[in-house]
Every structure is written in structure tokens, then in C-alpha cells.
Amino acid sequence: MPLSHPTVLAFERKLDPSDALFYAGDWNDKDCHKQWRPISLQEKNVRGTISHFLGNNNPEEVEKEVQKSNPQRVDVAMLPADADTLKVAFTLRVLPGTGTPSTCNNLAYREKLEKIVADWHKQPEHGFIDLARRYAYNLANGRFLWRNRIGAEKIEIHIERLLEGKAENKWVFDDVLSFSLRKFEFKEPAVKNLEELAQVLHSGLKGPKHVLLQVTAFVRIGAGQEVFPSQEFIQSDDKNKVDHKSKTLYHVNKIAAFHSQKIGNAIRTIDTWYPENEGISIADLGPIPIEPYGSVTVQGKAYRAPNNGSKDFYNLLDNWVLRDQDLNLDDQNYVIAVLIRGGVFGKKGGN
């Protein structure tokens, strides 16, 4: 009986970040933990204007509508007037076992997949180290800061490897704004730290033991300036409630924070192997997050849609495992990166 794709197939994520908490302080106090105060959320009630598209309605009705005010209740997060620096802190666990499903209802498929991943890693010209270098670069370039990276005067990132609660190694990247977000460039003077960090991430992915990192970013943006934690996604039913806010920000025990999912999305933004389409240049767009269909929700675009060169995860995985096709190196790296991302990948009917 020919091998088929399992109907039940799932993988645990191997890069497991915590939520990232926001603190405020002074740039000169980066090494003094006691000086940093949690950033809380504040509520603002503002009187805005009508600015959304009103369609091709009667001009008189449009003129009447745009003259109305647009009151809004929003959450905001700000640095205090006596603090010029945002501190963002989270931990990252790097786990072994890539390629080993957490659940799989097809033993033959599981055994073949595990062998393919093991053989991939043994090849001297590539392996987890290629992916680890990209993950390390995204930790060092501050991509996980998202909007808080824009307009910063200076950014410094401290990364520590924790062992039994104590820092075993520490890497400091003090010229973060010089890192490109469009390509992966290992340039002096950061090469040594980047390579060392990549080796640590590689050791966690390879196993047998996990690696735990403490990541702390210091962003000098100016006293009293607004900072940008995650925004909550509000279901449409909730938007009809009387107390609904126009913008609701995320917090952990009243401390402004990033969702762990947003941190993870930034770290795995390493896919430069997707096919070019509609005249979009990979060099101009840069890396996108590792996703089964190359989805970038903020653009409303899936760069690995099934009709775009058959480069989606499911087709490539089946070519590799079921059809015994030799994938090129870029496609192999992408498939392994999706397994590191984790998820539920079973197929209805197992075809």
C-alpha cells in the first residue's frame, strides 16, 4: 500500500518565546535592573474626525457626514516624562526534536519523515546552523520591536544564555540600527557575537537539551514618547458593546506587553526562498515569516499560495516524503523551518 499523508499530523514549535514586557527608564541605567518601572496602559477619550471612505453617496449626505465628530476611546502606552528609554524583555526556549511529530496516525510516514530530517542535518553543507544564523540575526537586529524600532535614536540588545537561573554567556549588540531588515548580512564588528549566538541556537535545535535565552532590548526614543505594545484582536460581536474601545492594547498583569505570537513571528521572518510573482522583488520586499502558504496578513498576500509555483509547504513536503523527489536546498530549508514553527498539518482523507 503506497505511503499517504497522515490525517492526524502535528508538530510542537521549537522556538518558544514568552510574552515581552515593557518597562521605562533612563538610557544610562541599562545595567541597573532596579531603575526600570513597568509601563502601564492609559485610556484616552479623543474627539476625532471622519476620515474613512464614505463611498459614492450623495455629495450633500457626504458633506453632512464629514462635519460630524468621531469620538473614540483608545488605550495608549507612554514613557513617563522623566524616562527616555523603553526596555522590552522576554525569554526564548529553543527545543530539540524537529521532524518528530507530537501526534501522527501513520507510523510509516513518521519513520520516513524522521529519517529525511536526520539525513538533511547530517549533510556537511547545511543543516540547522543555516536556519540558526537567520534566527540569531533577527534577535540581534531588533525586528521583534516592530513599530518601536522606527524613529529610535539608539537601540542596544542584550542576550544571555540562562542555565539554572544564571547567565552563562552574554552577547551585546550595540549598533542595532545598522542591521538590515531586508537581507541577512553578517558584518563586522557583530560577526563574532552573531556566530556564537547562532551556535547556541543550533545546539538547542540539534539537542539533546533545550536552550533558554533572556533577550532584553533598550530603545532610546525620548522622554514621554508613545510606545507600541500588541493590539488586541476584538471579535465583531464585541465591537457592538457599549463599552467597546476603538483600540485595546495587550497587557500582562497591567504591564504593557507584546503577545508571544508577535515575538515568534518576528524571529521566524527568515523566508527569502519564496517565488517571485506579480513583479515583486524578493530583494526589495525582504524576508517574510515562515508560514505554510507564505501568508503576510498585513499585506493581504500569500506568497506561497498553491497556484504560485507549487511552493507551498504541503506540496513540498509531499514531494519530499511521499514522492521521493530531491528538493533544492532552499526548499529543504523552508520545509524544515515550517516544522520548527510547528502546527497542525494533517490532511483530510490522507491524500
Query: What are the pLDDT digits (tens) for 264-281?
Result: 999 999 999 998 876 677
Separation of alpha carbons 217 and 89, rounded Å: 6
Whether residue 23 has pLDDT greater than 60: yes
197 Cα distance to chain centroid: 18
Whether residue 52 has pLDDT greater than 60: yes
Q: Which residues contact 209 (CB under 8 A, 6 or more apart)?
A: 96
Where does 11-67 have alpha helices with state H? 59-66
Separation of alpha carbons 88 and 127, rounded Å: 31
Looking at residue 67, its pLDDT comes to 67
Tell me how far CA of residue 54 lies from CA of 58, 62, 67, 145, 156, in angstroms. Answer: 10, 7, 13, 34, 44
Separation of alpha carbons 120 and 108, rounded Å: 18
| Contact criterion met (CB below 8 Å) for 287 and 270 | yes
- Nearest one of 252, 247, 82, 222 to 150, comparing CA atoms: 222
pLDDT band at 32 (very low <50, low <70, confident <90, very high): confident
Separation of alpha carbons 103 and 117, rounded Å: 17
- Nearest one of 212, 14, 214, 10 to 128, comparing CA atoms: 14
- Which DSSP symbol is given to 94? E
Separation of alpha carbons 287 and 306, rounded Å: 19
Buried b (16+ CB within 10 A) or exposed e, 4-14: ebbeebebbbb
Looking at residue 131, its pLDDT comes to 95
Neighbour tally for 269: CB within 10 Å: 20
Looking at residue 107, its pLDDT comes to 95
pLDDT band at 145 (very low <50, low <70, confident <90, very high): very high
Neighbour tally for 162: CB within 10 Å: 15
Sheet (strand 226-227) strand order = 41-49, 69-78, 226-227
Q: Name the phi and psi angles at 183, rounded to 5.
A: -150, 165
Q: Could you tell me the three cell numbers for 296?
A: 503576510
With residue 139 as reference, give the H or E element that holds it. helix 128-140
| Contact criterion met (CB below 8 Å) for 319 and 325 | yes
- Nearest one of 221, 186, 9, 190 to 107, comparing CA atoms: 9
Looking at residue 277, its pLDDT comes to 72
SS3 298: helix
> Which residue reads 497556484 in cell numbers?
307
Average confidence (pLDDT) over 86-91: 98
Lowest mean pLDDT among 52-61, 134-143, 162-171, 214-223: 52-61
Separation of alpha carbons 34 and 330, rounded Å: 46
- Would you say the pTM of this structure is higher than 0.75? yes
Q: Domain residues of the chain, as ranges? A: 9-48+71-273
Query: What are the pLDDT digits (tens) for 211-251?
Result: 999 999 999 999 999 999 999 987 766 555 556 788 899 99
Separation of alpha carbons 59 and 71, rounded Å: 23
